[in-house]
Chain A
Amino acid sequence: MRLLGGYVRRYFLQWLAWRSFALTLVANQAVTPLVGLAVWSTVLPERRLSDYFIALLFVRLLTSSYENHTFSEWVYQGGFCDDLLLPHPPVLVTLGENIAIRIWHIIIGLPIVAAVVLFAPPSLRWQDVALALPAVVLAAAIRFLFTYALALSAFWIERAHSVVGLGSTLIFLLGGEAAPIALLPDAVRPWAEALPFRAMLGFPAEIAAGELNGAAVGMGYLWQVIWLAVMVVAAQAVWRAGIRRYTVVGG
């Protein structure tokens, strides 16, 4: 834990130097929820979907993951072999940078959220938001493990960016960003509710916006815990298989 804290601090300071780059990352993270907000508020003005999309914007900033840039690039450049020599699991380095970037996302994103709140005042209830907080933490963990597992494909192929991009597309379509899960067609909705993409993004926003009753919240949490366990096992398996393939040239 102390080690992880050290990495978070180290990368937080490192990203201090890249804060203008972080700003551009945040702008790109924010744009899809805002487009969703605009489009769905036009389509269904009476449903007050702005609450949901403002919550979604917040969840997205808190769960952003760039392991294809931080980890995969590190593998491609060969710098990753240094991490292997560290006296602790190398994933701590990646996780530390991930958390540091998310902290920057929140710092930079707050003014954007504030501006949106001014334009479209949300009517969130505090109890709903409090109920959503553990779900945000779980979503952040699942999203990190998911992106990390996909980024590990860098051990096999040179297009880890495409693999992670495919994952992002699935999250966009089935995670509640293209449309809130409740508005998906009947044939797709049960699947979308169970698949991990909602657990990574849409579910916490749905709770915060007060769209779920008690049973649905419990069910969603159950899915989150299941998917968290699955992702931990999957990421470990991919890591073990990948690390055996890893070779590096130079010295």
Chain B
Amino acid sequence: MRLLRILGRVLALSVQRELAHRVNLTISVTMMVIDLAASVATLGLVFTQTATLAGWRPAEALALLGAFQLVTGLLNTFIEPNLAWFAEKVTGGRLDDTLLQPVPSFFMLSLGACQPLALPRVLLGGALLVWATVAGEGVTALGVAGCVALLAAGVVITWAVRVLLATLAFWAPGFEPSVLFSAFWQLGRYPVGVYHPVVRQLLTYVVPVAFVATFPAEALMRGGGGLGLGLGALGAGAALLALGAAGLAWRAGVRRYTGATS
């Protein structure tokens, strides 16, 4: 509880700080809307040439894009500000302060700072999801529940995988996975079915963007039967597994860390 209060306070402070620069905020939101419009337009172009993309109909692909944008917004708001360029923090000895604080370092270092400028993307993604739900046929309550559960699982998996990648810095300080991660992340905006089977496996098990967009959208639009439930259970299991692995790796990594300050 105390941890949640601290993180809430951090968010409130960051929001206040950003609201002070209104022009900046307006430009950021405008850019985000343009970016999203470009993504929707691209999907529109694809569907002028075909009725289905790897078996996905327009409304379903729209739901997928919405889920992708929503989780990308959460990733950029709460996770990336902490873990991007993490290797520099390790080699620069900048973890000392946080490690000495009386809160679990795992949470403080992976969620302790945030970038609320990225939050509007969550709303825009959510709006796309609602649009897709209205446009799609046969969306059921069960499907919606499965989608929400899978989105939650997707966020947890994203967080855990990002932590796992960042902890590599404790062993290989020269390796910086941030930009490679973001390059792979971009692949999530289309159904994983369009990629080569090898890439599809990578996207499901290594950089799990399949859990972020493809599976939640599948549960939402086609989750009428048992599919939503099945996918939900799979997502929850994968989330727990990934989080456990991240926690263990973090503990081992921090033990290797030696401060650089006096």
| Residue of A21, A30, A42, A183 most packed against chain B (CB within 10 A) | A42
A39 to B183, CA, bound (A): 16
A128 to B163, CA, bound (A): 47
A-B contact pairs, 17 of them (CB 8 A): A21-B176, A24-B179, A24-B183, A30-B183, A31-B187, A35-B187, A38-B194, A38-B195, A39-B46, A42-B54, A43-B46, A43-B49, A178-B38, A183-B48, A184-B45, A185-B45, A185-B48
A165 to B49, CA, bound (A): 28
Which secondary structure characterizes the binding site on chain A? helix
**Stretch of B27-35, B134-142, B214-222 on the interface side:** B27-35
- Does any Cβ of B come within 8 Å of A107's Cβ? no
Question: Which residues of chain A in 74-129 are interfacial with respect to chain B, using CB atoms and an 8 Å cutoff?
Answer: 119
A190 to B180, CA, bound (A): 36
Which secondary structure characterizes the binding site on chain B? helix
| A28-B183 CB under 8 A given contacts A43-B49, A159-B27 | yes
- Does any Cβ of B come within 8 Å of A226's Cβ? no
Contact B41 A178 (CB under 8 A): yes
Contact A39 B49 (CB under 8 A): no
Contact B42 A165 (CB under 8 A): no
Q: Chain A: interface residue count, which band? A: 20 to 34
Contact A24 B176 (CB under 8 A): yes
A90 to B180, CA, bound (A): 33
| A173-B38 CB under 8 A given contacts A24-B180, A28-B183, A42-B194 | yes
| Residue of A23, A39, A40 most packed against chain B (CB within 10 A) | A39
Name B194's contact: one of A39, A44, A179 (CB within 8 Å). Answer: A39
With both chains docked as a complex, state the minimum distance between the C-beta of A60 and any C-beta of chain B, in angstroms.
Answer: 13
